Structure 1
């Protein structure tokens, strides 16, 4: 079977229209059916793959019935006739037409390199209350390749297939600017929960990324540490990021406690959080990714060095007491209720892990790449001999020593960093901690170092 990234080299043609494989991946990527028809596979493995597929559908708010052959989708097309293959003009305008035979149209999405140009809400069409809309759209092209996609959703939340065009910007380019936002909390209002290295992690990681001035026209440093790391101060960062340009790069890093509430929702622990009620002053995951949603910069990376920062499988997780101290590493957790996974396993993997390994994450979110230090049911550890969180240490050490540069081209890309850090953290913690990609951008694999 092919890996989760294999779809990037496959397309479908319907008449004279070509669609990326991702458009049909949710419906046709069925390893359980393939293995069943081969006829020589263990029934338990087939069942596990089918469970992984169902879990994926649930994550995307679909059912098997919704993906039946009679599925009715809204439609959208480019109606502009003069779309170039390449251009020296940074501004690009085009016209689209969207229709639905049954329901009013709700919103229009525009993506450049899998980044939502108008944020995750898209362009609202609700005021029109129409089943047919024509709209002129203007956007700014990124340097180099631009995969531009459009889609439309109806009032029932059903999304059309995405129409795709590709344009190369070959005009004048300028050095981008870098925004490094590093948030670290070691000192909490409740001293019982103080950490050792989280604030230092933020400082060390900032120093690393700002050590490459030759790549950027300007570097912006924003550090929010300890008592300054309140909910209000962190959310105010978005105003600064809104000043970025589309070719700029944004690195957002957080280190500290990560908490799960009774409903298994994730919260980043601000300095004045109520650990018994994290929703009161904590930052939910959506608020963290919201800092990056809809900002002009399209190269966006969120690094999360906290416990439970990966995605949680609510179907296979229960609450249990924490016992997080190990011989060479100390967990960024606290005594109380934490999540552990007890789902049914095939070998050493449950259906949630199989889903993450087999299937690409089609949920685009803000378009940012999100690398979390640990799975949703795991702890993030601080190393006794590294003076950093294990995740942060792996990022810094790998970049400093060029160990991340797998193809030795002198340019470290997001995918290389993700792969290296995942392997290194797992090794340093003896498999107790495994970083995950909470969000992926398979198209925009930009350089980070």
Structure 2
């Protein structure tokens, strides 16, 4: 009997520590909608001692609303109005209490737009670019050869998209001495505040990265001291928080994924196991498409014949048109990934394997045109 009581008590304790559950009631999956605003009805359940703190709404993996202060309804039924992007999409709901996040609830909707007049204005998205590249660190032992050039070339490549895919391309760029910890933090705040729901944000980082003894990843600004990581470096959490709160689509490029002796050679950008970072950025609640220069604990390589890192060399070629979809002029996330993957393996003779991770519920989409 005592054993049975203990088992029952343990089960009750586990039950009380559960996250909420959320289900979409209406509209049904596969429904066709014609309004840019749709009402989503949902049900919500949570343990009595763990009220729901918020419900996050995402469309195609990007946040569009955050409902706080949810008042408990006896029926456990609620609704939220969601603005759609003007195409087929997946709406995702996530609820959170003190015990964690709910499993996601998804509904796929077909969007049938009203007929547009021939002369009706169609707004092109804006592209916001935050580019960081550091070769000349204050500590000469950290020196790299081409990280600053990588950032400059990435910016130049994306500025060519103005008037093509994007109505405007707006840039903040920090290289070498300008890439202080405070400046990078300002840049992250800027891109979060400026990017609207219909816009695109791209964050590019070339430089050193390192994990501390607890596995926390830090980007190394120009004044970095690896013996004082918290005080002088940029915690990955700041990048993650920025990404999760940007309203538009987000693509992150990281050329800083390496291991071993972090400052062992100027030809290697050191040193982190990047896999966990990529997966976290690309999780449902953060929703960034993330390209990284190498896998796990591989080095990312530079070479004088390229005058770039291998990853950025392939990225620039791809965005320049070599990654376009066969028979078309557009460059999509998938076509860019395929090109970079093969090109980097070719450049490095198989020593480096770049990766990309696309969050759940984010469809393939164009990020550039020839």
Taking structure 1 as the reference length, the TM-score comes to 0.67
Q: CA separation of 1:365/1:385 partners in 2, compared to 1, >3 Å: closer, same or farther?
A: farther
Residue correspondence of structure 1 range 252-291 to structure 2 within 5 A: 252-291=203-242
Q: Deviation digits for residues 56-104 of structure 1, max 9, x if unmatched?
A: xxxxxxxxx9xxxxxx8844344557996122x4333444331236663
Instruction: Give the corresponding residue for 1:331.
Output: 268
Contact 1:259/1:267 (<8 A) preserved: yes
Instruction: Give the corresponding residue for 2:147.
Output: 198
Residue correspondence of structure 1 range 363-378 to structure 2 within 5 A: 363-378=283-298
Residue correspondence of structure 1 range 339-354 to structure 2 within 5 A: none
Contact 1:243/1:296 (<8 A) preserved: no
Q: Deviation digits for residues 268-313 of structure 1, max 9, x if unmatched?
A: 110111122222221222322332222221x2100011133xxxxx
2-structure distance, mates of 1:206, 1:113: 26
2-structure distance, mates of 1:251, 1:282: 21
Q: Deviation digits for residues 246-267 of structure 1, max 9, x if unmatched?
A: 1111111011111122223221
Q: Deviation digits for residues 134-172 of structure 1, max 9, x if unmatched?
A: 444233211312211224345432624514141416256
1:144 has 2:87 as partner: yes
Which secondary structure state, in structure 2, belongs to the residue aligned with residue 275 of structure 1? coil
1-structure distance, mates of 2:27, 2:367: 37
2-structure distance, mates of 1:323, 1:272: 14
Query: Which range moved further: 374-383 or 433-442?
Result: 433-442
Which secondary structure state, in structure 2, belongs to the residue aligned with residue 250 of structure 1? strand
Q: Deviation digits for residues 354-403 of structure 1, max 9, x if unmatched?
A: xx9xx9x9832421101111223122111220111111001012232x33
Contact 2:269/2:300 (<8 A) preserved: yes
Tell me the CA shift for residue 413 of structure 1: 0.7
Instruction: Give the corresponding residue for 1:181.
Output: 130
1-structure distance, mates of 2:138, 2:169: 32
2-structure distance, mates of 1:227, 1:94: 49
Query: Which range moved further: 423-432 or 168-177?
Result: 168-177
Instruction: Give the corresponding residue for 1:412.
Output: 331
Q: CA separation of 1:279/1:425 partners in 2, compared to 1, >3 Å: closer, same or farther?
A: farther
2-structure distance, mates of 1:200, 1:282: 21
Q: CA separation of 1:81/1:392 partners in 2, compared to 1, >3 Å: closer, same or farther?
A: closer
1:234 has 2:171 as partner: no
Q: CA separation of 1:292/1:199 partners in 2, compared to 1, >3 Å: closer, same or farther?
A: same
Q: CA separation of 1:367/1:321 partners in 2, compared to 1, >3 Å: closer, same or farther?
A: closer
2-structure distance, mates of 1:430, 1:367: 32
Out of 97, 104, 123, the residue aligned to residue 43 of structure 2 is 97
1:305 has 2:255 as partner: yes
1:389 has 2:309 as partner: yes
Taking structure 2 as the reference length, the TM-score comes to 0.80
Instruction: Give the corresponding residue for 2:14.
Output: none
1-structure distance, mates of 2:161, 2:260: 44
Out of 213, 220, 225, the residue aligned to residue 170 of structure 2 is 220
Q: CA separation of 1:251/1:158 partners in 2, compared to 1, >3 Å: closer, same or farther?
A: closer
Which secondary structure state, in structure 2, belongs to the residue aligned with residue 296 of structure 1? coil
Q: CA separation of 1:266/1:91 partners in 2, compared to 1, >3 Å: closer, same or farther?
A: same
1:431 has 2:368 as partner: no
Contact 1:98/1:132 (<8 A) preserved: no
2-structure distance, mates of 1:185, 1:73: 42
Contact 1:413/1:446 (<8 A) preserved: yes
Contact 1:256/1:332 (<8 A) preserved: yes
